[in-house]
C-alpha cells in the first residue's frame, strides 16, 4: 500500500454513507490521479470502475470492494442503465460509493447520465474531475492540444455514437472547418470513415496526425501519420484501442517535445518543427 503518501493537511471532504462520488481516474498513469481522487479511494466501501481504469489505481482502495462495470460491445444503453441503478442501490444500502471512470467523468464517459439518474433518485453526489485522455494523453505523447502558432481552438469529437457506429448526426464539414486541431475519442475503429469525411470536407491529405494508444500507461504507443494514410497505417500497425486520434499541425511539435523518448536517451528530431526559425519570444 501507499501509506507513505499522506494527503496534505486540509479540509478534505468526507465520503458519507449513502453518497456516490463520480470521480475521474485520469488516462492511466496513477500519478495523474487528483488528490480528491486519492481522498475518495481511501474512504470508499465500494469502487465501481470502468474498463479503462488501471488496476494499479484500485490498489489505493484496498479496504473497498471492487466492482467491474466495463462495457465491451453489447448493448451499451441497457447496460448503462443497470450501472446507474446499481449505484442507486448501493447508495441506498448505506455504502460509501465511489464511481471511478477513466479520464474525466464528464468527457464522453456518460458521467452526466449516471449523475442525473442519481439525482433523480435523491442520491447525493459529488463530482471529481479528472485529466481527460484527449489532453493528458496527448501531452504524454509530446503533443500540446493548443499552441500559439497552430490553433486558437480545439475540437473534441467522439467517433462513436450509442450504437457503436460513426455518429452520422455529426456535421463533419463544420467539424473539419471549425478548428485547426481535432481530438477524436473512440475513433480508431472508424478511422477510415472519419478521415475520408474530413478530407471530403476540405482537410488536406498531408495534414499531420497522430494516433496515441494506451496513453500514459506502460503500453503507450504513438503512430505519426497523415490524414490520408492514417487508416491504412492503423491497420498495418496492429495497434489496439483505446486510442486518441489527433489531427492538426500541433502533432509536429512531437518532433521537439517527445519527452518520453528524450528520457529514453533519444535526441529531439527537430528543434523547430513549425518553422519559426527561433524560439518564441515571451510576450
Ligand atoms: N472519460 C474519458 C473518455 C471515455 S471514452 C476521458 O476523459 O478520457 C473512451 C475513449 O477515451 C477511448 O475509446 C479512447 O478514445 C479514449 N481514451 C481513454 N483513455 C485512453 C488512453 N489511456 N489512451 C488513449 N485513449 C484513451
Instruction: Report the pLDDT averaged over residues 21-31.
Output: 97
d(CA 237, CA 214): 14
pLDDT in tens, 99-158: 999 999 999 989 999 999 999 999 999 999 999 999 999 999 999 999 999 999 999 999
Question: Which residue is it, cell 488501471?
Answer: 54
pLDDT in tens, 260-277: 999 999 999 999 999 987
Closest by CA to 57, choosing from 45, 13, 48, is 48
**Predicted pLDDT of residue 77:** 55
Q: For the domain 20-131, what is the CATH code?
A: 3.40.1010.10
Contacts of 11 (CB under 8 A, 6+ apart): none
Whose CA is closest to atom 2 on ligand 1?
Answer: 103
Whose CA is closest to atom 6 on ligand 1?
Answer: 103
The three-state secondary structure class of 119 is helix
Active site residues: 50, 71, 186
Q: Determine phi and psi for 104, rounding to 5 degrees.
A: -105, 135
Decide yes or no: CATH 1.10.630.10 for domain 134-263: no
Q: At what angle do helices 76-92 and 111-120 cross, to 10 degrees?
A: 40
**Residue 54 CB–ligand 1 contact under 6 Å:** no
List the chain domain ranges.
Answer: 20-131, 134-263
Contacts of 281 (CB under 8 A, 6+ apart): none
**Residue 216 CB–ligand 1 contact under 6 Å:** yes
d(CA 181, CA 177): 10
**Predicted pLDDT of residue 125:** 98
**Predicted pLDDT of residue 76:** 56
The three-state secondary structure class of 113 is helix
pLDDT at residue 199 tops 70? yes
Amino acid at each position: 500500500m501507499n501509506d507513505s503518501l499522506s494527503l496534505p493537511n486540509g479540509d478534505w471532504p468526507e465520503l458519507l454513507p449513502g453518497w456516490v462520488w463520480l470521480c475521474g481516474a485520469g488516462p492511466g498513469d496513477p500519478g495523474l490521479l487528483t488528490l480528491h481522487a486519492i481522498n475518495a479511494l481511501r474512504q470508499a466501501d465500494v469502487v465501481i470502475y470502468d474498463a479503462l481504469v488501471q488496476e494499479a489505481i484500485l490498489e489505493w482502495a484496498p479496504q473497498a470492494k471492487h466492482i467491474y462495470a466495463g462495457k465491451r460491445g453489447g448493448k451499451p444503453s441497457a447496460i448503462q442503465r443497470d450501472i446507474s441503478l446499481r449505484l442507486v442501490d448501493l447508495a441506498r444500502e448505506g455504502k460509501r460509493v465511489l464511481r471511478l471512470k477513466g479520464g474525466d467523468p464528464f468527457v464522453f464517459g456518460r458521467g452526466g447520465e449516471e449523475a442525473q439518474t442519481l439525482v433523480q433518485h435523491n442520491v447525493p453526489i459529488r463530482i471529481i474531475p479528472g485529466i481527460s485522455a484527449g489532453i493528458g494523453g496527448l501531452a504524454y505523447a509530446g503533443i500540446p492540444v493548443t499552441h500559439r502558432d497552430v490553433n486558437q481552438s480545439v475540437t473534441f469529437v467522439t467517433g462513436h455514437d450509442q450504437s457503436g457506429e460513426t455518429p452520422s448526426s455529426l456535421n463533419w464539414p463544420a467539424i473539419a472547418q471549425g478548428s485547426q486541431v481535432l481530438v477524436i475519442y473512440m475513433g480508431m475503429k472508424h478511422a477510415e470513415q472519419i478521415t475520408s469525411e474530413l478530407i471530403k470536407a476540405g482537410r488536406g491529405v498531408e495534414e499531420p496526425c497522430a494516433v496515441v494508444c494506451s496513453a500514459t500507461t506502460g503500453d503507450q504507443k504513438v503512430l505519426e501519420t497523415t490524414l490520408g494514410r492514417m487508416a491504412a497505417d492503423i491497420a498495418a500497425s496492429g495497434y489496439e484501442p483505446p486510442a486518441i486520434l489527433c489531427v492538426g499541425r500541433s502533432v509536429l511539435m512531437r518532433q521537439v517535445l517527445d519527452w518520453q523518448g528524450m528520457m529514453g536517451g533519444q535526441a529531439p528530431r527537430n528543434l523547430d518543427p513549425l518553422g519559426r526559425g527561433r524560439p518564441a519570444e515571451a510576450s
